[in-house]
């Protein structure tokens, strides 16, 4: 179930991650960024990062499913504990027969035996018997199976709670990452729209100059190409916003028709950093990740189930008591009640090799679960390593792009001065402005990538279990 949940979350976020390379404006998302795709009259809810996380934890169906499975595991423990209590059954039996053996048993049970009963023993005729009774049973020993069932059920509750922790951890990461991707998409749209305005203005002026004979046609065509590229980026950004909204609404447990907006949080202004070497993160993951603990619980459960199957080789003992009456007419009479008390012991001497095969299957299951545990640890180690490397890369890219932004802004300033002095063409100016915008876009994308990589590393070490 956990794999299907993770797969679902990854698939829902994949389109969002592709938006990180779209164009963006200078600086990070400001507090005045507005989602232009949602009219204010329809914006029923607005979420900061903390509010989005809290809402998802209360409404995401995957987390609610995990909670219900804890309840199922608790119910299984109750079923296992019921074996230690007496089992009481009430029943009523009606018999009508002329079988001599059964009729004789009815006569004796009904306290009607006399000398005539012996004389007519072979031809008793038809007789009926009404028997209401209460039967109580108590298991005294079942080869340790009841005890092992109880322990396995207790471990099942622990495993279900760890599964919920795993879903909680994955959900926190998914909401946080999609939140950053949503803001990145909004910023990409804003930069694209601003670029369209700037290039359109320059395009119109250059076209007038061309018509007046003071500009080259190549300048007009170059601006037309740049305008088309920017319009394409704006279209992709607008679509990316809708895709990211759909993914967010899925994580929040909202219908896709529900209008909402995302409010930037102060956390987006914090620059991520690596606080420890890889080995420390890995050690923390192996002790904190709920998947590791859940896999260990499953190994324990499989060993308990093996002992349950092995218990079939041992004898079983039950105590029982029956209280009722036998009469020819319905009703109850204390003069004809019967009480039976006893202990039954039984042991399978030969089960057609069924017990042996069930034990063998349980042994194989235990071996399989141990391999699943090993696989889980290897997968988590890989996840931590990839998250660690991605954060290293993102931080390095962030440093490079910040330096590139400073250089691009200075280059644009110099080209602008040259243009005013008539030493630079409009094409050169537009190229510098596009280069500045691209470096700003790369810097914003690198910042959000770093935040997302930090989020992935936190999830990999189990920070949100």
Residue 227 within any structural domain of the chain: yes
* Range in 115-124, 136-145, 346-355 the model is least confident about: 115-124
At 303 the pLDDT is 96
Instruction: Kindly indicate the confidence band of residue 271, based on its pLDDT and cuts at 50, 70 and 90.
Output: confident
Residue 134 within any structural domain of the chain: no
Instruction: Kindly indicate the confidence band of residue 426, based on its pLDDT and cuts at 50, 70 and 90.
Output: low
At 267 the pLDDT is 66
Residue 92 within any structural domain of the chain: no
Q: How many domains does the chain have?
A: 1
* pLDDT above 60: residue 398: yes
Residue 123 within any structural domain of the chain: no
Instruction: Kindly indicate the confidence band of residue 33, based on its pLDDT and cuts at 50, 70 and 90.
Output: very low
The model's pTM is: 0.75
Output 79 or 217, whichever has higher pLDDT.
Answer: 79
Residue 377 within any structural domain of the chain: yes
Residue 119 within any structural domain of the chain: no
Judge residue 187's burial from the number of C-beta atoms within 10 Å of its C-beta, 0-12 exposed, 13-18 middle, 19 or more buried.
buried
The residue segments making up the domain with residue 18 are: 2-87+141-460
Q: Is 463 helix (H, G, I), strand (E, B) or coil?
A: coil
Residue 56 within any structural domain of the chain: yes
* pLDDT above 50: residue 17: no
Residue 99 within any structural domain of the chain: no
Residue 343 pairs with which residues in a beta bridge?
A: 319
User: Which residue is it, tokens 């030969």?
Assistant: 350
209: domain CATH number is 1.20.1600.10
DSSP string, 338-399: EEEEEEEEE--S--TTHHHHHHHHHHHHHHHHHHHHHHHHHHHHHHHHHHHHHHHHHHHHHH
* Summary mean pLDDT of the chain: 84
């Amino acid at each position: 179930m956990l794999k299907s949940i993770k797969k679902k979350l990854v698939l829902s976020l994949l389109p969002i991650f592709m938006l990180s390379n779209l164009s963006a404006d200078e600086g990070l998302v400001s507090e005045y960024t507005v989602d232009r795709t949602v009219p204010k009259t329809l914006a029923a809810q607005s979420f900061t990062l903390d509010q989005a996380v809290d809402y998802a934890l209360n409404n995401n169906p995957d987390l609610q499913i995990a909670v219900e499975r804890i309840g199922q595991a608790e119910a299984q423990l109750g079923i296992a504990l019921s074996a230690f209590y007496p089992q009481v059954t009430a029943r009523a039996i009606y018999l009508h027969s002329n079988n001599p053996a059964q009729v004789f048993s009815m006569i004796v049970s009904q306290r009607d035996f006399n000398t005539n009963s012996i004389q007519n023993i072979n031809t008793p005729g038809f007789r009926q018997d009404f028997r209401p009774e209460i039967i109580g049973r108590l298991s005294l020993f079942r080869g340790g199976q009841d005890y092992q069932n109880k322990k396995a059920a207790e471990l099942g509750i622990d495993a279900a709670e760890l599964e919920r922790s795993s879903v909680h951890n994955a959900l926190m990461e998914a909401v946080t990452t999609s939140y950053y991707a949503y803001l990145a998409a909004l910023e990409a749209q804003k930069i694209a729209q601003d670029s369209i305005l700037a290039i359109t203005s320059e395009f119109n002026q250059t076209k007038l100059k061309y018509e007046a004979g003071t500009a080259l046609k190549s300048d007009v065509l170059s601006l037309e190409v740049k305008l088309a590229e920017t319009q394409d980026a704006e279209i992709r950004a607008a679509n990316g916003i809708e895709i990211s909204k759909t993914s967010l609404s899925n994580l929040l447990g909202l219908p896709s028709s529900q209008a909402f907006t995302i409010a930037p949080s102060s956390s987006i202004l914090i620059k991520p950093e690596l606080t420890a070497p890889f080995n420390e993160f890995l050690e923390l993951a192996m002790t904190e990740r709920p998947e590791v603990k859940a896999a260990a619980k499953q190994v324990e459960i499989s060993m308990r189930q093996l002992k349950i199957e092995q218990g079939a080789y041992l004898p079983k003992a039950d105590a029982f008591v029956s209280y009722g009456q036998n009469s020819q007419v319905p009703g109850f009479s204390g003069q004809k009640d019967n009480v039976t008390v006893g202990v039954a012991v039984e042991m399978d001497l030969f089960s057609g090799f069924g017990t042996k095969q069930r034990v063998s299957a349980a042994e194989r299951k235990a071996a399989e679960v141990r391999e699943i545990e090993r696989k889980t640890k290897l997968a988590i180690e890989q996840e931590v390593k990839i998250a660690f490397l991605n954060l290293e890369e993102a931080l390095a890219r962030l440093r490079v792009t910040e330096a590139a932004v400073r250089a691009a802004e200075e280059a644009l300033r110099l080209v602008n001065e040259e243009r005013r002095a008539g030493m630079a063409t409009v094409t050169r100016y537009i190229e510098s402005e596009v280069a500045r915008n691209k470096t700003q876009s790369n810097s914003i994308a690198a910042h959000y990538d770093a935040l997302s990589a930090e989020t992935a590393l936190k999830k990999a070490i189990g920070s949100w279990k």
